[in-house]
Structure 1
Amino acid sequence: MSSNNTEKINKTKKIAILFMLIFFFLLILLISVSKTISDYRRLPTLQSEKKELSVRGDIISADNFKIASSKKLYKASVDTRHLAKDKKELFLQLFSIYSGIPYTKLKLKLENDKTPGYLVLSYNIDSRTAKNLKELAFKLRKLDVFVSRKVRGGKVLRGLSIVESGEKRLFSYEDTLTPVIGYVRKYESEKGKTRVKGIKGLERSYNKVLNESKDGILKGNRDVLSYISFDNNSVIRKRIDGATLKLNIPLKLQKNIELTLDLHKEKLSADEIIVSVVESKTGKVLTLASSNRFNPENIKQSDIPSLNVNAIEYQFEPGSILKPISIALVMDKGRIKKDELLFAHNTKGKPNKKGEYPKGRYKLGKYTIKDDHRFKKHYLSLDDIMIFSSNIGTLKYAQRLTGPEFYNGLKKFGITKETGIDLPYEREGVMPKVWQFAAGDDKGEDNVFKATVSYGQGMTSTFMQMIKAYTVFQNDGFMITPRIVDYLSHDGNKYKPYNKEPEKVISKKTANEIKRLLIKTVEEGTGRSAQIDGLTVAGKTGTAQIARRGKYLKKYISSFFGFVEDGNNAYTIGVTVINPNSTGRYWYYYYASQSAVPVFKEVTKNLIKLNYLTPKNDIISDKK
């Protein structure tokens, strides 16, 4: 074999060997890459989970203003072990600018930290500031403000951390709608987050649904590059905040009436004035206002007496505003004869220059019951008794009922029973027992408990009980439960939080007759100054002394309860003035006609101004 052939064969072998080496190298590389990919896929599953904190639901007025809402808070902390010593000043300067926290405060906190590690700089970072601080954390790394530290298995670098820490409750209009809206208290949840719970008012009564929330979750397997790979085992859950309360109370009307109360409280030097406006047909509470309010975000020691909702928690003797109820019970039993007259017990003494006889005095056992009004006659009609608020006439009617009839009748009107309004801690009031009312029934004797309670003394009720009772006279004898919240909205669904049907209390005939008497009381009696041209105004005054430990004080509670109609709209309105000035130059302010009635009229004017009522004369003038 020639040398040329040998060379060719050797050359061919070399090329073949080279190709075989390249092939085996590529095969090994391919196997290696495949194994690596396969191994990566078979690495122990690393779970990645990201949570989005949910918050308490909002409370929104009828005209869509947020009365109460929650915002997320973030915690800003730094690991001081990774903070470069020569860059501390730069860190403090930049963090102060981005966070709005004073530089001196931050520096003091850093200097006082004697143990290296995580140092919390603030728990009260809002969402916008948190976003800016996260950007700052990235920039600080670029500026080498943080240095890595050796740990077993390598190095780590930790710097500025911004994480969700909880929520804060906001009350956008400060003291508006307090104490009804209530207040909250912070607590730490099982997950270490700051949450809030309702302590008083609507925040308390709807606490469960307001806090019925779920954090958002993004959870799945994490690959070696820290990306979440989604599969059938991944969890994606949107954040669901607590339920939203939509109120029946419009913010604009509420604020107008609160301003009215502030002015009258100062004028009357009263301890408190309470007002409510309720849609007579539906029970929707359009206003529940007090002159004593507080800022739920900044409760002071001096605010403590104002934290209670006295419209449902304060029990007082209602006085003469109870007379229409007492008379209605007798009338509904058919025990008041048409055109009958009752003796006024006012014959002792001569008439004065106006021809008025002395005030009536009625002896009942060891007690003497008096009338406040002087009459020009000795016998009173039903209209006289209601219009001029005769205690003697009312109690004589009440004696026509048996003890159980009177007791059960008052209960039916809701006296000494919870109204069912959507507020917590409602008080019931007190009155004599049924057996006390019944004493003397079998002998046909007058009963002192029946007598005093008939004109609103010797018992207590609450402001809201009287509001609810007065809805009977505008609803053909049916009683409507007052409601502050219109509906709840949660996770896209709306629903009513209650379903209370109207309660039949008295006949339509009786209700309409009491309504007529209440209208006449405003036209001719103690409520005359509540009149407004073009509107039907009705109501009853009541003035009672404040009792403490079984004794009456020289302090008074003055009330005016009634309703206003314009032909299309009807509202039940209550006003109670607690301890108006009853001494010195303005001693007469304690009379309801001088304190509660003027407030009632101003409230009605607010309803006109904001188009809840349209006087008939306005309609006529518009047409002209």
Structure 2
Amino acid sequence: MSSKLNENDNKIKKIVILFFFILFLLLILLISVYYKINDERRLPSLKTSKNELSVRGNIISADNFKITASKKIYKASIDTRYLDKNKKELFLKLFSIYSNISFKKLQNKLNEVKNNPGYLVLSYNIDSKTAKNLKELSFKLRKLGVFKARNVDGGRILRGLSIVESGEKRVYSYEDTLTPVVGYIRKYESEEGKTKVKGIKGLEKKFDDLLNNTKDGVLSGNRDVLSYISFDKNSTIKKRVDGANLVLNIPLKLQKNNEMILDIYKEKLEAQEIIISIMDSKTGKVLSLASSNRFNPERIYQKDIPSLNVNAIEYQFEPGSVVKPVAVALVMDKGRIKKNELFFAHNTKGKPNKKGEYPKGRYKVDRFYIKDDHRFKKHYLTVDDIVMYSSNIGTLQLAQRLSGPEFFEGMKRFGFTRKTGIDLPYEKKGVMPKVWQFAANDKEKEDNVFKATVSYGQGMTSTFMQIMKVYSIFNNGGKTVTPKIVSYIEVDDEKFKKDNLESKRIIKESTAKEIKRMLVKTVEQGTGRSAKIEGLEIGGKTGTAQIARGGKYLRKYISSFFGFVNDGQNSYTIGVTVIDPVSRGKNWYYYYASWSAVPVFKEIVDNLIKLNYLTPKKDIISKK
């Protein structure tokens, strides 16, 4: 009996021992799970929030190519205190392969914090694709035990490879294309410690507020033990909003072709800079604004500094003879030119040469003598002759028929000393003598030297784009348009057209038509003959002026040709300015506009034909 009781007691003891053993195993398992969770990460707080970084808007060409865009960049970092020393080389090799950062460079970074272990940034400039691969690597590194957990504040923490958004990078896909118009940016650090950018010049500056009008996305709510957000009615979801996109009137292909032309002619003419533009005469849409002096906004060097300005609107110069049609138009608009009127060329002193050409005319204004560059076979000039052969003497005689205030206000009405309104920052206005200087001799009924010199483009300054706007008036029935580079602004897939400024009448339609006829005749028979292309209506005016500096004229020149081309459906104003072409040696004559600016103009028109912006028609000239 007692043996049976002992046997039962033993069984009960074994059961109790087994129970406590199982209980002990369960306790160990729970403790293991607890520490496992803490090895991977700190137990998260109940609430969590995640921000999705927004980026600056894009600048897009008319043919839908991204000229510039912003891309997210990521920061890769580790805490060296958690890195297993025995697996350091393995980490470096794997990270180097995944990030495309050299092993040596990474090794040097680790050595720099060898005596002061802790937080280390391996790179601030990881792109999205690489960041995704590195996040996968981070998971693999934990599995391989490359990082070890440490006891911190009474708990065990494991910190491995961290990949987080660090900001944005501005990318210029076509390098120097459309610079300096597109402009450049500067990096700065936001209040959240993210790398952001702001515009400094060009379109990047003008539309900086719109391009940077961003809102980061937000995901917030309770999260589970694995750190995933559990969405419910108390969660917050805010969609990320990137900056506005600028869509331009400028097609990439047309712009690049024009830039290639400028590169060739800059070398040929040994010029400091060549500027060209193409503008729709009716709407003001700028289809191209190009310079031979460009730079890559992602890598600006010391040598690029002179090229950072948009000289089409920032460089002020004496325009020369391209202003003459304006002076003629102002007098004609007042009805002060008689039909078939003749003007004395002041060229009677001396005998004709073998070609029957009389000496160049000389006309005294105040104590100065004004001369003509062209020899004439006659003593009297028509208005057509004055424009076609660019007569200084003929132009100033016409200008003296206006009072000082009439001439001054007329020049201002055409846009001189006023900004064109083009959508670029830092536009200059040019300078002109004051109204009282124009009127100084009116009471004595004597010729005025200021009116004389300004009438043929000296003693004043203007910008390239001001003259573009002037010549669009002659090709638009006497009305002005505002140059526009940006077609529309795109915000969150919605398009917002820029306000079109109403065209304003500057001169009578009949006056514009008559000036246009004379400019066409200048290309047909005058100084712009090499711009002629059969089947197109082309008009324009040459201008060559000396560069003034410090109150003195240098032996350097600015040569221009401004005009228009029409094919019956399309109507474009085109300008070419060559700054300081070669003026000495065997190619000394390149400083004349007819040898420098006009050939570039013709190349630009040929380019428009090749790209189907113009279609020559055999009978277009005869119809006019």
Tell me the equivalent position of 2:53. Answer: 53
C-alpha separation in 1, matches of 2:566 and 2:184: 35
**Cα offset, 1:382, TM superposition:** 0.6
Letter of the 1:76 counterpart = A
Alpha-carbon deviations, 1:436-485, whole Å to 9, x = none?
01111122111100000000000000000000111111111100111101
Q: Where does 1:224-623 land on structure 2 (aligned, <5 Å)?
A: 224=225, 226-617=227-618
**Cα offset, 1:225, TM superposition:** 5.3
Tell me the equivalent position of 1:156. Answer: 157
C-alpha separation in 2, matches of 1:44 and 1:117: 22
Letter of the 2:110 counterpart = L
Judging changes above 3 Å, is the alpha-carbon distance between structure 1 residues 454 and 97 closer, same or farther for their aligned structure 2 residues?
same
**Cα offset, 1:231, TM superposition:** 3.4
2:170 aligned counterpart, secondary structure: strand
Kept in 1: contact 2:366–2:448 (CA 8 A)? no
1:593 aligned counterpart, secondary structure: helix
Tell me if 1:83 matches 2:83: yes
C-alpha separation in 2, matches of 1:221 and 1:437: 78
Kept in 1: contact 2:487–2:497 (CA 8 A)? yes
C-alpha separation in 2, matches of 1:46 and 1:409: 74
C-alpha separation in 1, matches of 2:381 and 2:561: 23
Alpha-carbon deviations, 1:142-178, whole Å to 9, x = none?
0111111112232111111000001100000011111
Letter of the 1:54 counterpart = S
C-alpha separation in 2, matches of 1:463 and 1:47: 60
C-alpha separation in 2, matches of 1:403 and 1:47: 77
Total equivalences in the alignment: 578
Judging changes above 3 Å, is the alpha-carbon distance between structure 1 residues 584 and 376 closer, same or farther for their aligned structure 2 residues?
same
Bigger drift between 144-153 and 224-233 goes to 224-233
**Cα offset, 1:358, TM superposition:** 0.7
Alpha-carbon deviations, 1:372-408, whole Å to 9, x = none?
1111111111111111010011001001111111111
Judging changes above 3 Å, is the alpha-carbon distance between structure 1 residues 80 and 435 closer, same or farther for their aligned structure 2 residues?
same
Kept in 1: contact 2:44–2:227 (CA 8 A)? no
Alpha-carbon deviations, 1:527-560, whole Å to 9, x = none?
0000001111100000000000110000000000
Kept in 1: contact 2:44–2:225 (CA 8 A)? no
Tell me if 1:122 matches 2:127: no
C-alpha separation in 2, matches of 1:512 and 1:271: 36
C-alpha separation in 1, matches of 2:108 and 2:311: 46
C-alpha separation in 1, matches of 2:593 and 2:430: 22
Judging changes above 3 Å, is the alpha-carbon distance between structure 1 residues 618 and 171 closer, same or farther for their aligned structure 2 residues?
farther
Kept in 1: contact 2:450–2:459 (CA 8 A)? yes
Letter of the 2:238 counterpart = R
Tell me if 1:196 matches 2:197: yes
Alpha-carbon deviations, 1:556-614, whole Å to 9, x = none?
00000000011111100000000111101011111000000000000000000000001
Extract structure 1 runs of 4+ deviating beyond 3 A.
Answer: 223-227
Alpha-carbon deviations, 1:201-238, whole Å to 9, x = none?
11111111001111111111234554433333321111
**Cα offset, 1:44, TM superposition:** 12
1:169 aligned counterpart, secondary structure: strand
**Cα offset, 1:104, TM superposition:** 0.5
Q: Normalising by the residue count of structure 1, what TM-score does the alignment of the two structures yield?
A: 0.91
**Cα offset, 1:46, TM superposition:** 2.4
Tell me if 1:111 matches 2:111: yes
Tell me the equivalent position of 1:66. Answer: 66
Letter of the 1:206 counterpart = F
Tell me the equivalent position of 1:31. Answer: none
C-alpha separation in 2, matches of 1:429 and 1:226: 64
C-alpha separation in 1, matches of 2:247 and 2:317: 31
Letter of the 1:208 counterpart = D
C-alpha separation in 1, matches of 2:100 and 2:308: 33
Bigger drift between 114-123 and 555-564 goes to 114-123
C-alpha separation in 2, matches of 1:531 and 1:384: 18
Judging changes above 3 Å, is the alpha-carbon distance between structure 1 residues 44 and 156 closer, same or farther for their aligned structure 2 residues?
closer
Tell me the equivalent position of 1:94. Answer: 94
Letter of the 2:332 counterpart = M
Tell me the equivalent position of 1:18. Answer: none
C-alpha separation in 2, matches of 1:87 and 1:557: 68
Tell me the equivalent position of 1:25. Answer: none
2:593 aligned counterpart, secondary structure: coil
1:443 aligned counterpart, secondary structure: coil
Kept in 1: contact 2:262–2:291 (CA 8 A)? yes
C-alpha separation in 2, matches of 1:497 and 1:236: 32
**Cα offset, 1:128, TM superposition:** 0.5
Letter of the 2:493 counterpart = G
Judging changes above 3 Å, is the alpha-carbon distance between structure 1 residues 120 and 279 closer, same or farther for their aligned structure 2 residues?
same
C-alpha separation in 1, matches of 2:524 and 2:473: 21
C-alpha separation in 2, matches of 1:45 and 1:123: 28
Alpha-carbon deviations, 1:24-72, whole Å to 9, x = none?
xxxxxxxxxxxxxxxxxxx998221111111110111001111000110
Kept in 1: contact 2:546–2:556 (CA 8 A)? yes
Judging changes above 3 Å, is the alpha-carbon distance between structure 1 residues 44 and 101 closer, same or farther for their aligned structure 2 residues?
closer
2:594 aligned counterpart, secondary structure: coil
Alpha-carbon deviations, 1:409-432, whole Å to 9, x = none?
111111111110011111111010
Note the residue ranges of structure 2 that are not aligned, 5 or more in a row: 1-42
Kept in 1: contact 2:535–2:618 (CA 8 A)? yes
Alpha-carbon deviations, 1:90-149, whole Å to 9, x = none?
111111111110001001110111322110000010001000110111011101111111
C-alpha separation in 2, matches of 1:85 and 1:189: 36
Tell me the equivalent position of 1:22. Answer: none
C-alpha separation in 2, matches of 1:249 and 1:204: 18
Bigger drift between 261-270 and 146-155 goes to 146-155
Kept in 1: contact 2:284–2:483 (CA 8 A)? yes
**Cα offset, 1:526, TM superposition:** 0.1
C-alpha separation in 2, matches of 1:314 and 1:233: 59
Letter of the 2:314 counterpart = E
2:313 aligned counterpart, secondary structure: helix
Tell me the equivalent position of 2:12. Answer: none
Letter of the 2:197 counterpart = V
C-alpha separation in 2, matches of 1:466 and 1:57: 32
Tell me the equivalent position of 1:20. Answer: none
2:437 aligned counterpart, secondary structure: helix
Letter of the 2:262 counterpart = L
Tell me if 1:186 matches 2:187: yes
Letter of the 2:187 counterpart = K
C-alpha separation in 2, matches of 1:227 and 1:597: 68
**Cα offset, 1:365, TM superposition:** 1.2
